[in-house]
Amino acid sequence: MYDFVQSVPYDIFTYNSRIGTSVAYSTVIRMLKSLSLQEAAMVKLCGRDLTKWGVLVTGNVQNYLFQRDQRIGRTNKMNVGLAATYIEIEDICPKAYHLDDKL
């Protein structure tokens, strides 16, 4: 995981997994996908629970892919995505969010 966070090149991943100092790149990707599925399930459960309140903070994530080896069909492009964080609010009165009391 540390190598992935540090953006270590793929060939370094391959070398380190062969000598046994780290896991393979595919293992890290599988682990991250599994963790994201688990977190998505947790957020869905929290969303269905009427006794819990939370805030969803979203933001744009951009990554520019610069093609260093210009060949036919390869172009520079911008990857645009969405990142989100769910924050559960604890010790709050659910009546604070009911609009009937305020209108």
- The per-residue pLDDT for range 45-71, each reduced to its tens digit, is 877 887 778 888 999 999 888 888 778
Number of domains the chain is built from: 1
- Does residue 102 belong to any structural domain of this protein? no
pTM value is 0.56
**What was the pLDDT predicted at 93?**
77
Structural domain including 81 reads: 2-97
- Does residue 60 belong to any structural domain of this protein? yes
- Does residue 6 belong to any structural domain of this protein? yes
C-beta of residue 60 within 8 angstroms of C-beta of residue 80: yes
**What was the pLDDT predicted at 91?**
81
